Amino acid sequence: MYENSAALLRVLAATLAGRSAIALGPIPTDHVVALLAGLDITSRLIVSSGSDSQMRVLGSDVPEDLRLSLHVQSLDEFLDDIAAHQFGLTIVTDEGMPVLERALEMVDVGGIVVGLSGVGSFPFDSRFESVTIGREAISWLATRRQHARPVRRRRRVNASHSASPTSNGDR
């Protein structure tokens, strides 16, 4: 992986502060090392893949770290198991592209999605703002927009016409 890409992944991981990151599919060892370097002690990195052999290699190449969790399971089943979770950072590999739409539902507001080199283009989704990078190890980045909640306006009551708790006797 190029030095700039490693620095970018490290910076993205540093923004999590207590939130989790997920990688859909096996990611290169240097990606994992860069992400772990950016994570604080309260954040987690979860890597899931259906490929047992690739995950074994990853598990043997990356130093043991309590913030890292490796799962060998089909991505569909894995996303079913963690459906209630939200992630601040989602990393998508070729293996993860078929479940990308489901994974986007699990991205926190303000969360970031990274498409690694070789994955298809980011699908149009009005909830996200995306940019194509197309070089080095990263193809595109997207972030989930933060939409303002509708403002509820309270009806103003003229103070001179409102009843006080004592004006009507016992209430």
Q: How many CA atoms lie within 13 A of 161 on its CB side?
A: 3
Q: Are 138 and 8 in contact (CB under 8 A)?
A: yes
Instruction: Write the CB contacts of 99 (distance below 8 Å, at least 6 apart in sequence).
Output: 24, 75, 76, 79
CATH superfamily of 3-107: Vaccinia Virus protein VP39 (3.40.50.150)
Q: Are 28 and 1 in contact (CB under 8 A)?
A: yes
Report the pLDDT value the prediction gives residue 118, as an integer from 0 to 100: 74
Q: Choose among 93, 72, 87: nearest CA to 27.
A: 93
Mean pLDDT by 10 residues, the chain (171 residues): 75 94 90 94 94 88 92 94 94 90 92 84 84 74 72 60 52 48
Q: Are 140 and 117 in contact (CB under 8 A)?
A: no
Report the pLDDT value the prediction gives residue 149, as an integer from 0 to 100: 52
Report the pLDDT value the prediction gives residue 1, as an integer from 0 to 100: 45
Report the pLDDT value the prediction gives residue 22, as an integer from 0 to 100: 96
Cα angle at 34 between 31 and 35, to 5 degrees? 85
